[in-house]
Amino acid sequence: MELIDGNQIAATIVAELKQQVADLPGRKPCIALVRVGDDPASVSYVKKKEKTAAEIGMESRIILPPATITQGELEALIDQLNNDPTVDGILVQSPLPKPLDEAAAFRRLAAHKDVDGFHTLNIGKVAQEDDTGFVACTPAGIMELLARSGTDLKGKHVVVLGRSLIVGKPVALLALQKKAGANGTVTICHSGTANLAEITRQADVLIAAIGRAEFVTADMVKPGAVVIDVGINRVADPSKKTGYRLTGDVHFPTVSTLASKITPVPGGVGPMTVCMLMKNTLKARLQNGA
């Protein structure tokens, strides 16, 4: 079994981006990070994004509106960033506090600055195989992990567990694309799927993104399959200081004994998401001009 080391692959991509940014003439790429309120997970995600941008040599602009901001005020702020020629990419950190309308906020972003890839136009471009758009960061990171660990999807049966707009649907569309590295035969499973284990057992490549701790057990996996575990779940663990540990959607101890390659949690898909955001920001800067 080969462990697909997301930390190592992410570090390689960060080093590549750092070089590309250093070689870039003129203004450095700039990402605006909008975090509304003080959700603890959002605070740590935005910090990580700010730190990675600095490591690569990109500028980040942190904007911290209070949780009391109205939808109109938030959209006015987004308009301002849309119209600012020194901002290449904009990220509105999810989840937004209630009663703000997250989907409407994402739609308000100028599609050419939507480096998170959640704008309708960018999701549509993935379906159309139009590479000028931005692919959402987690699915893009999964495809990078597969490519850089030498997994070509052509001729393979790729089974995706989960159909969310953030992970399941876009990664299924990417695996399906008629291009090098992709070209998979794709099945998407969800909570309405019958005989789930029968389908997952047919997978040459199994991508689990359902948010259920250790749901995928060894009896659901074909020996030799490549297993990508997207899940990040907290399970109670009194032996930890925090009282919990992080686990994926895959039961790693048993599945890892029969998979040919597998991602760990943490240290698999997770580290890829932030570096794909930076890759998108550099792409935005190159497309937007100096």
Catalytic residue from among 114, 116, 204, 249: 116
Binder of ligand NDP out of 51, 154, 179, 190 (CB under 6 A): 190
Catalytic residue from among 93, 125, 169, 177: 93
Binder of ligand NDP out of 231, 259, 279, 281 (CB under 6 A): 231
Interacting positions 111-150 with ligand NDP (CB under 6 A): 138
49 is an active site residue? yes
Give me the least distance between CB of 191 and ligand NDP, in Å please: 3
Under the criterion CB under 6 A, does residue 189 sit at the interface with ligand NDP?
yes
Question: What is the gyration radius of the CA atoms in the chain, in angstroms?
Answer: 19
Give me the least distance between CB of 43 and ligand NDP, in Å please: 16
Unique residue bearing structure tokens 């850089």: 148
116 is an active site residue? yes
Which of these ranges, 16-24, 47-55, 111-119, 157-165, lies near ligand NDP under the rule CB under 6 A?
157-165
What is the residue type of 140?
A: A
The separation between CA 109 and the C-alpha centre of its own chain, rounded to angstroms, equals: 18
Under the criterion CB under 6 A, does residue 266 sit at the interface with ligand NDP?
no
Binder of ligand NDP out of 171, 216, 230, 262 (CB under 6 A): 230
Give me the least distance between CB of 142 and ligand NDP, in Å please: 9
Q: Tell me how far apart the terminal alpha carbons of the chain are, to the nearest angstrom.
A: 46
Strands 226-229 and 205-208: parallel
Under the criterion CB under 6 A, does residue 168 sit at the interface with ligand NDP?
yes
Strand order in the sheet with 185-189: 2-3, 261-262, 226-229, 205-208, 157-161, 185-189
Backbone torsions φ then ψ of 146, nearest 5 degrees: -65, -45
Under the criterion CB under 6 A, does residue 48 sit at the interface with ligand NDP?
no
152 is an active site residue? no
Rounded Cα gap, residues 92 and 98, in angstroms: 14
User: Is cis: bond before 85, omega within 30 of 0?
Assistant: no
154 vs 190, beta carbon nearer ligand NDP: 190
Do 227 and 145 meet the contact criterion of CB atoms below 8 Å apart? no
113 vs 169, beta carbon nearer ligand NDP: 169
Give me the least distance between CB of 272 and ligand NDP, in Å please: 7
Under the criterion CB under 6 A, does residue 270 sit at the interface with ligand NDP?
yes
Do 155 and 176 meet the contact criterion of CB atoms below 8 Å apart? no
Which of these ranges, 17-25, 145-153, 256-264, 266-274, lies near ligand NDP under the rule CB under 6 A?
266-274
What is the helix (H) or strand (E) element at residue 244, kind and residue range?
Answer: strand 244-247
Under the criterion CB under 6 A, does residue 201 sit at the interface with ligand NDP?
no
Give me the least distance between CB of 73 and ligand NDP, in Å please: 27
User: Is cis: bond before 99, omega within 30 of 0?
Assistant: yes
Q: Helix (H, G, I), strand (E, B), or coil: what is residue 131?
A: coil
DSSP string, 190-202: -TT-SSHHHHHTT
What are the residues binding ligand NDP (CB under 6 A)?
A: 138, 161-164, 166-168, 189-193, 196, 209-212, 230-233, 269-270, 273
Q: Please identify every residue annotated as catalytic.
A: 49, 93, 116
